[in-house]
Amino acid sequence: GAVVSQHPSRVICKSGTSVKIECRSLDFQATTMFWYRQFPKQSLMLMATSNEGSKATYEQGVEKDKFLINHASLTLSTLTVTSAHPEDSSFYICSASPGKWNTEAFFGQGTRLTVV
């Protein structure tokens, strides 16, 4: 199947700093990518939809100034957690799909963010 690469897999940062997470579709182009957050023993919660060449669409309750999304190319979307706080510690996962309709989503490996 298609491959979505997410980097880094783990990151530890100090409170107040920013962290950037990359999501790449390695063998297909993705006009739309999705960013999820997952708390322990819970399912994935959609944070935002990343659209190539345009602004991301954020879900209700997700601060767009806190979680900056850039989708500058058809194979790369980035999520930047700005001014991170311990409550931002979580597992972040991206997904992408070949084609337009998100018919089959492929997920990245996830990024474990720990803010100390």
Task: Provide the binding-site residues for another protein, judged by CB under 8 A.
Answer: 1, 4, 6, 32, 34, 41-44, 46, 49, 91, 93, 95, 97, 101-110, 112
Q: Decide whether 76 or 93 has the Cβ nearer to another protein.
A: 93
Closest approach, Cβ 111 to another protein, in A, equals: 9
Give the amino acid at 32. Answer: T
Spatial separation of the C-alpha atoms in residues 10 and 69, rounded to whole Å: 19
Spatial separation of the C-alpha atoms in residues 112 and 116, rounded to whole Å: 13
CB distance 19 to 80 below 8 Å: yes
Closest approach, Cβ 83 to another protein, in A, equals: 26
Give the amino acid at 61. Answer: G
Closest approach, Cβ 46 to another protein, in A, equals: 6
Q: Decide whether 34 or 67 has the Cβ nearer to another protein.
A: 34
Closest approach, Cβ 87 to another protein, in A, equals: 20
**5 burial via Cβ count (<10 Å: 0-12, 13-18, 19+):** middle
